[in-house]
Amino acid sequence: MANDIDLHLGKRLRRRRRLMGLTQQQLATAVGIRFQQIQKYECGANRISAARVWELAAALEVPVGYFYDGLEEGEPAQLVAATTPAPEEPRAGEVLARKETMDLIRAYYQLGERPRRRLLDLAKSLNNDSPA
């Protein structure tokens, strides 16, 4: 049975891997394991050792602490998981975990600086136009 911290680390691993556009196979190859092990880490079925967290952090170009972001020091994981934003607002992590969001981010950064600014201004203006 998965521990809340194992689930949290797995979600952070999946989010970063997707953000970088890596497949489970590509990440597994980078750290010298099989892709099935990445699957097990991501769903929290297998606990990630400290040495493996270190290797994954290096492969994903993040500090080791990235995996623990969102867990408060000295606070049980159950309390962290129980604190959720208002129902109408999805959690930031959930939004970033969506394939649609990753596709949008990749497309955005493929644009030049000026089109990016214009697109951002457009998105902000559309948000301001929506009824409250």
CA distance 90 to 119: 23
In tens, the pLDDT along 61-83 reads 999 999 998 886 655 545 444 44
Task: Give the long-range contacts of residues 57-60, CB within 8 A, separation 24 or more.
Answer: 59/27, 59/30, 59/31, 60/13, 60/16, 60/17, 60/20, 60/22, 60/27
- How far is C-alpha 108 from the geometric centre of its chain's CA atoms? 18
* The predicted structure's pLDDT at residue 67: 92
CA distance 22 to 85: 29
Q: How far apart are the first and last CA of the chain?
A: 43
Distances in Å between the Cα of 122 and the Cα atoms of 83, 99, 112, 114, 126 are 33, 22, 15, 12, 6
* The predicted structure's pLDDT at residue 98: 73
* The predicted structure's pLDDT at residue 79: 43
* The predicted structure's pLDDT at residue 21: 87
* The predicted structure's pLDDT at residue 132: 53
Q: Which two tokens stand for residue 55?
A: 């290797």
* The predicted structure's pLDDT at residue 102: 79
Residues in the chain, pLDDT under 50: 77, 79-88
